[in-house]
Amino acid sequence: MNETETIQKGRASLNLQQLKYAVEIARVGSISKAAKNLYMGQPNLSKSIKELEAELGQTLFSRTARGVQPTRAGEDFLGYARSILSQVESLSQLYRRDGAPAACLHMAAPRASYISNAFSAFAAQLSATGTALDLDYRETNSMDILHAVASGEAELGILRCQDKHAGYFETLCEENGLHAEVLWQYSMVLLMSEHHPLAALGEIPYHLLRKYPEIVHGDLTPVLPAEQQTPSSPLHSANRIAVYERGSQFDLLRRVQGSYMWVSPMPFEVLAREELVQKPCRTENCYRDIAIRKTPLGQPGLDFLRALQNDIASLVQTVPVVK
């Protein structure tokens, strides 16, 4: 089925392009932004949505002070549309043009070096066998990860949360029909240059960090309901540098004197390559990383998850974690 072919629903004739239009409008909350992302004129996009609504006999979007929002009927329609588009994409990517099977894995994860390092090794191993690749690796925050898996955009997600918020995310997973498996629990460690003034200490007291700049991921604060929001003691400091992509953090740690950041335990090979060290610092903030999925994983997903669990087992042997 291509985008010019149609799906019959009673007397309505829907095409896949219309489904994509509706999903993109809902994603960005704006017809003008969606038109820009879709490389088309806003009048043409508005016309297509009006024709779709006329075919369905339902109003899918309403204009509010916050932008374009799906109506109740629109939410129902978008759920089916996302599912159809995901299935069509999976079908089209299952085989390459030459008929050779492709290794397909779309996943979303926090910005964690141990996960990205495992994914890179996994992709390299597949590529070395001559296997065709259809891999998608997205780093984002926990709420976006949950939504990506729930909507079918990602087959596998690695959800990160503090232990005290685990119940909230477990409820969200249940409400969205997601299977969740705790990969491990741990305390964050301090990451810094091997030349940092505190690098020689075995365990770093928190009060010694006050005069040093902290590097933080500026877009990864989890969205929690008001009753779940509690002070994140002692993380984070007011003396900070916010970054929005992980590649720059290592360069900043090496070049900005005294800088540090809180991270999940890191593989030794990454520390050695980047000339960094990780140090324990006693805090009350314990975390857990949770693998989530909506449907059974394909073989590539199972293979990656197995490799990631092996890497975690190695990390557990080298850093203090919550038992």
pLDDT for the residue numbered 100? 57
Query: Do residues 149 and 294 both lie within one domain?
Result: yes
What's the CATH number where 14 sits? Answer: 1.10.10.10
Give yes or no for residue 13 having a pLDDT over 70.
no
Share of the chain above pLDDT 70, in %: 84
Residue 39 to residue 34: CA distance in whole angstroms: 9
pTM: 0.66
- Identify which of 316, 255, 311 has the alpha carbon closest to the alpha carbon of residue 121: 311
Q: Which residues contact 151 (CB under 8 A, 6 or more apart)?
A: 82, 86
How much is the mean pLDDT over the chain? 84
Q: Is the peptide bond before 236 cis (omega within 30 degrees of 0)?
A: yes
Question: Helix (H, G, I), strand (E, B), or coil: what is residue 186?
Answer: strand
pLDDT for the residue numbered 233? 42
Residues 216-267 pLDDT 10s: 987 654 444 444 444 444 455 678 898 877 778 999 999 999 999 999 999 9
The two structure tokens encoding residue 271: 């520390």
Question: Helix (H, G, I), strand (E, B), or coil: what is residue 50?
Answer: helix
Residues 101-154 pLDDT 10s: 678 899 999 999 999 999 999 999 999 988 888 899 999 889 989 999 998 889
More confident residue, 235 or 67: 67
pLDDT for the residue numbered 292? 96
pLDDT for the residue numbered 123? 94
Instruction: Let me know: does 240 contact 211? Beta carbons within 8 Å.
Output: no
Give yes or no for residue 187 having a pLDDT over 50.
yes
pLDDT for the residue numbered 83? 87
Query: Do residues 157 and 296 both lie within one domain?
Result: yes
Instruction: Let me know: does 146 contact 160? Beta carbons within 8 Å.
Output: no
Classify residue 284: in a domain, yes or no: yes
pLDDT for the residue numbered 132? 84
**What band does 4 get if pLDDT is binned at 50, 70 and 90?**
very low
From its phi and psi, is residue 102 left (phi > 0), alpha (psi between -120 and 50) or beta?
beta
pLDDT for the residue numbered 244? 79
Classify residue 38: in a domain, yes or no: yes
What's the CATH number where 137 sits? Answer: 3.40.190.290
The single-letter DSSP state of residue 213 is P
pLDDT for the residue numbered 5? 43
Give yes or no for residue 95 having a pLDDT over 90.
no
Query: Do residues 198 and 289 both lie within one domain?
Result: yes
Classify residue 1: in a domain, yes or no: no
pLDDT for the residue numbered 284? 66
Query: Do residues 150 and 276 both lie within one domain?
Result: yes
Q: How far is CA 67 from CA 13, 24, 61, 238, in A?
A: 28, 13, 10, 33
Q: At what angle do helices 166-175 and 142-151 cross, to 10 degrees?
A: 20
- Residue appearing with tokens 């239009």: 21
Residues 43-63 pLDDT 10s: 888 989 999 999 899 999 998
Residue 12 to residue 2: CA distance in whole angstroms: 18
**What band does 298 get if pLDDT is binned at 50, 70 and 90?**
confident
Query: Do residues 56 and 118 both lie within one domain?
Result: no
Residue 59 to residue 43: CA distance in whole angstroms: 18
More confident residue, 103 or 5: 103
**Among candidate residues 45, 75, 93, the one where a domain is terminated:** 93
Query: Do residues 272 and 298 both lie within one domain?
Result: yes
Give yes or no for residue 97 having a pLDDT over 90.
no
- The structural domain count of the chain equals 2
Task: List phi, psi (to 5°) of 282.
Answer: -70, 120
Query: Do residues 307 and 216 both lie within one domain?
Result: yes
More confident residue, 288 or 134: 288
**Among candidate residues 93, 127, 154, the one where a domain is terminated:** 93
User: What's the mean pLDDT in 156-174?
Assistant: 93
Query: Do residues 316 and 250 both lie within one domain?
Result: yes
Query: Do residues 149 and 78 both lie within one domain?
Result: no
Query: Do residues 133 and 73 both lie within one domain?
Result: no
Query: Do residues 178 and 51 both lie within one domain?
Result: no
**Among candidate residues 93, 114, 136, the one where a domain is terminated:** 93
User: Domain containing 51: what range?
Assistant: 6-93
* N residues, the chain: 323
Task: Give the β-pairing of 61-64 and 12-15.
Answer: unpaired
Instruction: Let me know: does 180 contact 292? Beta carbons within 8 Å.
Output: yes
pLDDT for the residue numbered 228? 45
pLDDT for the residue numbered 9? 44
Q: Is the peptide bond before 234 cis (omega within 30 degrees of 0)?
A: yes
45-82: b or e for each residue (b if 16 or more CB lie within 10 Å)? Answer: bbebbeebbeebeeebbeeeeeebebeeebeebbeebb
